[in-house]
């Protein structure tokens, strides 16, 4: 498995768009540190959207009204966990940019994404 699969094409830095990847596992095991597909995590006025690169998977769109919580899940690789009101979780790796190794200890972009989503959730 090539760790570069955990990279995505768009860099973080825009307030509402982050580099993200879907891990093989939602757990904290080694498989949770490798990505199935990279993409972007976008925060809009009413939803959170994960869009995979090159259409290698399905786009996942969640209305902010359907999201119960967003929290840090693990620090190495930085992951966040979106829990829907139904109890269904979605774990995403969030990285600074295309060139960031997936084993980075830098969780600042993940933390910014969590803060942005939680701020938007408070306005609903």
Domain ranges, ordered by start, for the chain:
3-122
| 88 φ/ψ angles, rounded to the nearest 5 degrees | -75, 125
Is 48 within 8 Å of 80 (Cβ atoms)?
no
Between the CA of residue 76 and those of 28, 55, 87, 93, what are the distances in Å? 9, 27, 24, 9
The CA distance from 38 to 122, in Å, is 28
The CA distance from 122 to 124, in Å, is 6
Domain 3-122 part of CATH 3.40.50.11720: no
- Specify the pLDDT at position 2: 28
- Specify the pLDDT at position 96: 80
pLDDT means over runs of 10, the chain (124 residues): 29 53 52 60 89 81 94 83 91 79 82 91 88
- Specify the pLDDT at position 7: 28
- Specify the pLDDT at position 58: 83
- Specify the pLDDT at position 98: 65
């Amino acid at each position: 498995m090539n760790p570069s699969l955990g990279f995505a094409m768009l860099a973080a830095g825009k307030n509402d768009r982050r580099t993200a990847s879907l891990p093989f596992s939602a757990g904290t095991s080694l498989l949770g540190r490798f990505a199935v597909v990279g993409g972007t995590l976008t925060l809009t006025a009413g939803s959170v959207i994960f869009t995979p690169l090159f259409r290698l998977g399905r786009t996942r769109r969640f209305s902010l009204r359907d999201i119960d919580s967003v929290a840090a899940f693990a620090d190495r690789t930085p992951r966040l966990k979106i829990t829907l009101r139904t109890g269904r979780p979605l774990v995403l790796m969030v990285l600074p940019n295309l060139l960031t190794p997936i084993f980075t200890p830098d969780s600042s972009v993940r933390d910014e994404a969590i803060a942005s989503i939680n701020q938007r959730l408070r306005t609903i």
